[in-house]
Each structure stands twice: as C-alpha cells, then as structure tokens.
Amino acid sequence: MVGEAAGDPDRHGQLLELLREEHPFYNDRGTASTVRMRGWILATLARIGLPDDALLFVLEELDTGVDPYLVAAAARALRSYPAPRAAFAPLVMGALANIRYRDERVSFESYGAYAVGLNGTTPVAELLATLTWLGPHARAILPDLEALRHGGGVARKYAAQLDAAVAAIAAGDLSGEECCTLPRGLGAMLSWPLGTRRSDDAVAQIVLEDHDGNEIAFDELFRGHVSIVVFFYTRCDNPFKCSLTIAKLARVQQRLEERGLLDQIQTAAITYDPAFDVAERLRTYGRERGLRLDAHHRMLRAPCGLDALRRHLQLGVNFVESLVNRHRVEAYIFDRQGRVAASFQRLRWNEDEIVARAVEVMPERKITFPMVGTLSSLALAFFPKCAACWIAYLSMFGIAGLSQIPYSPWLKPAFAILLLLNAATVWLRGRATHRMTGFYLVSAGALALLSTLQFDWKSAAVAGVVLTMAGSFVSAWRRPVRASAATRTA
C-alpha cells in the first residue's frame, strides 16, 4: 500500500493520511507494529521527498521520539525536505541528545526489517548526517554540538561524522536567518476563530469521573470557564509525552497562579486509558508530578465516552484492544461554551504560549454573539444617513406619515460612534484570530463613510458601505486556520 502510494505522485497525499494515528490502519496493532509501519512511511517519504504537509510528523518524531527506528527514519526524511532551515536544528540536536543512549542499529532495506548483525544504520548516524545537511543553518546549535564532541557525548565511532557536521555548520554564516521559527503555516498550533468553532453538543452529556471519583458531565464541567485540556495515560512509556505533559500542566497551573487566573482558567488532564486509569491511579500520577488537584483543576477519565471524545476532538490516538499503541502530544483550549478555540499538536507545547492563548480566549465573553460584527455593520450600512434617506426609508416601509420627523443633527456623532464601535469589534476579532484583513477593510469603509458626512460624496458612501460590509463578513466568516508559526527556543 505504501509502495503503491509512493509510486504514484497523485497518491502521495495518502501517505500523509497514513501518518495520522487515528487511521484505521493502526487499529489493534501492537506498538512494535505501529512503529514499523510509521517508520516505513517516513522512510518512503525520505525517498520521494518530504512535502510541507508531512513536515510536522517528522519534526514530532525528532522532538518526542524515543524509538531508534522512528528517529532514524525522521532524520532521513528531513533531509529530503526541499531546503534546510535553521528552525530544524534545535529539534535535530534535541533528538541527538535524547536517542544517544538508545542508539541501536536499524534497517530500511524492506518493510518490517530489523537490523541483525552489523549491517544497517543508526539514529545517531542519521542525525549527524542531517546536521551536515543543515550546514550553516544549524549555526545556533554549533556550541552544543562542539560540547558534545569535546565531552565525549557521542561514541568514538562517530568522530569522523561529527567532525564533518561541525565543519559543514561552521563553513558559512547565515546569522541573519531567524533561528527557531518554523515555516509559516507549519506550526503546531491550530486556532479556531469564534464564529467557526464546533459546538460541544456531541459530547455534552458524556460523564467524566475525576481523580476523586466524582462524576460530572462534560458540559457542566467545561461550560462557563476557559479551560486548558491535555491528554495522557499513566502507562505511557515515553518520558517526553505523557509524563512531561502532566509536569508541564503543573507549570501551567503555576503560571496561572502567578497571574491570579487560577479561578478563571481551569485545567484538565483526560486519560486515553479510562479502563485502567482509575481515580486513585490518576490522583497518584498527578500528585507525583506536582499537579494541583481540586474542583477547578482535575484529572479525568471517560469510562463510557472516550470514543465520542475521540470523534469530537479527532484525537491523535489509536489502540491495541484497550491499550494505547500510539498517540501524539495534544493540548486544547476550550472556550466558555466548551468548544475548541485552539489546539497544540505533536510538538511539545510551551507553557507560556498556552497560557497566553487561553488568556486571549477569556475576553470573548464580551462578544456573546458571533455575528455581532456582521450585524452591526449591516445595520450601520443601511442606517439612514440624511433627511432624504429617512423619508425614503420610511416611505419604502409604508410609513409615509412619519416622514415629517425632522432630521436631527445628533445623528452624525451617533453615527460616527457606531462606525468606531464596529471597527473596534472587528479589530478585537482580528487580534484573536491573527487575521487583520477584515479590520483593514472596515477601517477603509469607515473612513469613506465619515468623509461623506463632511463632503456629501455619494460614490464614497457606496464604497464605504461595500467596504464595511465586506470587512465585517471577512471578519466573521473564516475557516479554521493554522495560527502563526509556533516558535521554539533553541
């Protein structure tokens, strides 16, 4: 299947689909089989070239991978990306530090092959080759690599490869390049603007059980507060995934406490393994990692609702019988209606970034109706702006007798205030969604309309109405978009 898709350029997209954990391909496979399957797909991408859409899967493996086969395959695949980038270097260096104690031989000769005897390659060899490929783009990690070389952090058999990598990196200077920002659109954060979020109706009635055995419905828990929600399970044996996720959630709670937001933003950790992770196990796991546990901050399991949650949130997880065989790192921000406002996927998220995003979602309570911007613009556009307009409108609606109402001069400032209010609303939405096009259009419209108040330019009025309406629609109607590139520190 992988080979066929690789041979047909029109089917390369299928390889990307096969990398998603929730794909039925992975149903009821053991972890070892899952590793072989994913590794083979990455190795295939290494042969045919790594597209943008698959880059995040490769970076994920470098960031949190602990399996030698997958890390080696990811390092290979990255070298087939069209161009090296400085943002890849910290991830490659991090993978080198993580995997060097599990530097086993691996084989990419055929699907499912294990290296037996002294053939094959190793993840460290592949990562060093990738650093060499990055060359001067990896300048930021050169001191770390040299420290590794001088401190004997990598086996002596790699000395020549290590020297080659250092020489390649030191060969040029690209200091102008931004160090750690991933290419735009390839970030690990997804953001859903207010009007585009999916209702939580499908999961609203799911009963969750918390770390003390208390039961609470999904909507009861998540409606009314902004929430930071992570997924994990206690039997996870990847130290860079579940265990670290819970430890990081504890740090998120500290950040919230420092900012006095502990009562306003709640946190929740939901297990992928509800049958095994009973209340006591959840409590112990959380406390051992410094997690605050109370009515606002809970560890949860969904004894009968995990499938619905999986479908609703499109969780990146799959199972062999009841046990997780593979999952991604994933964290969500729910708005006050329990809808997903943002998600952080695959790469390890940053505590400050997730708190900042949750804080951005908080003021949305003031915009209680998602179409408010559009409707106010429509009202504004059709608002009668002169005495003749009043007569025309009232005549049009058959209330000719009211045409005697005199045109009031106070309408001008009221109209100007409405225009500014509309622009401010659109600006707030633009800031939350990282898309300012709507605001620019509305601003231009407002300027045009205001100019008609002063100069009575008919064509400017028409343009103003059109621009205001267009800006408001652009602001309100938007598909989920990838937010600005996730930033990572070296």
Partner 1 sequence: MTTKRKAPAKGAKATKRTASRSKNALAGRAAMAVATSPKRTVKQRVAAIAETPLTICESDKDLQAMLNLLRDRNEPIAVRLAALQSLQAASFSVIAFEACRGDYIATLREVVDDPDPELRQRVLGLLAREKDGFAQKKLIDGLEHPERALVPPEKALQLLAYDVHAEAYAVARDVIRNPPNEDSRREALRLLSADATAAPIFEKLLGDKNELAEIRQLSASALQALRPEKLQTQAREILLDASDYDEIKATSLTALTQFGNEESVANDVELRNRVDEMAATASPNVKQSARRFVDRYSK
| Cα–Cα distance for residue pair 15/53, rounded to 1 Å | 10
344's enclosing H/E stretch is strand 340-345
Count CB-CB contacts under 10 A for residue 119: 10
| 408 bridge partner residues | none
Out of 171, 176, 237, 398, point to the residue binding partner 1 (CB under 8 A).
237
**Both tokens assigned to 12:** 């390369």
Q: Is 301 among the residues that bind partner 1 (CB under 8 A)?
A: no
State in angstroms the smallest separation of the CB of 280 from partner 1: 7
Torsions phi, psi of 138, nearest 5?
-95, 20
Q: Is 295 among the residues that bind partner 1 (CB under 8 A)?
A: no
- Touching partner 1, residues 307-366 (CB under 8 A): 320-325
State in angstroms the smallest separation of the CB of 25 from partner 1: 15
Q: Residue 102 or residue 431: which is nearer to partner 1 going by CB?
A: 102
Q: Is 240 among the residues that bind partner 1 (CB under 8 A)?
A: no
- Touching partner 1, residues 173-192 (CB under 8 A): none
Q: Residue 271 or residue 443: which is nearer to partner 1 going by CB?
A: 271
416, 383 Cβ separation under 8 angstroms:
no
Buried b (16+ CB within 10 A) or exposed e, 159-179: eebbeebbebbeeeeeeeeeb
Residue type for position 163: D
Pick the piece of the chain touching partner 1 (CB under 8 A) from 31-39, 142-150, 187-195, 204-212. 31-39
Q: Is 8 among the residues that bind partner 1 (CB under 8 A)?
A: no
Q: Residue 122 or residue 345: which is nearer to partner 1 going by CB?
A: 122
State in angstroms the smallest separation of the CB of 285 from partner 1: 14
Give the β-pairing of 297-301 and 265-271.
parallel
328, 56 Cβ separation under 8 angstroms:
no
Out of 18, 26, 36, 46, point to the residue binding partner 1 (CB under 8 A).
36
Out of 22, 170, 261, 276, point to the residue binding partner 1 (CB under 8 A).
276
Q: Is 35 among the residues that bind partner 1 (CB under 8 A)?
A: yes
Out of 105, 211, 301, 328, point to the residue binding partner 1 (CB under 8 A).
105
Q: Is 30 among the residues that bind partner 1 (CB under 8 A)?
A: yes
Q: Is 38 among the residues that bind partner 1 (CB under 8 A)?
A: no
Size of the site for partner 1 (CB under 8 A): 36
Q: Is 151 among the residues that bind partner 1 (CB under 8 A)?
A: no
| Cα–Cα distance for residue pair 439/266, rounded to 1 Å | 31
Q: Is 120 among the residues that bind partner 1 (CB under 8 A)?
A: yes
Q: Is 98 among the residues that bind partner 1 (CB under 8 A)?
A: no
Pick the piece of the chain touching partner 1 (CB under 8 A) from 25-33, 80-88, 260-268, 358-366. 25-33
Q: Is 31 among the residues that bind partner 1 (CB under 8 A)?
A: yes
| Cα–Cα distance for residue pair 472/469, rounded to 1 Å | 5
Q: Is 4 among the residues that bind partner 1 (CB under 8 A)?
A: no
Question: What are the CB-based long-range contacts (under 8 Å, 24+) for 440-449?
Answer: 440/471, 441/467, 441/468, 441/470, 441/471, 441/474, 442/377, 442/467, 442/468, 442/471, 442/472, 442/475, 443/471, 444/471, 445/469, 445/470, 445/471, 446/419, 446/420, 446/422, 449/380, 449/385, 449/415, 449/419
DSSP structural state of residue 371: T
Binding site for partner 1 (CB under 8 A): 29-33, 35-36, 100-105, 114-118, 120, 122, 155-157, 235, 237, 273, 275-276, 278, 280, 320-325
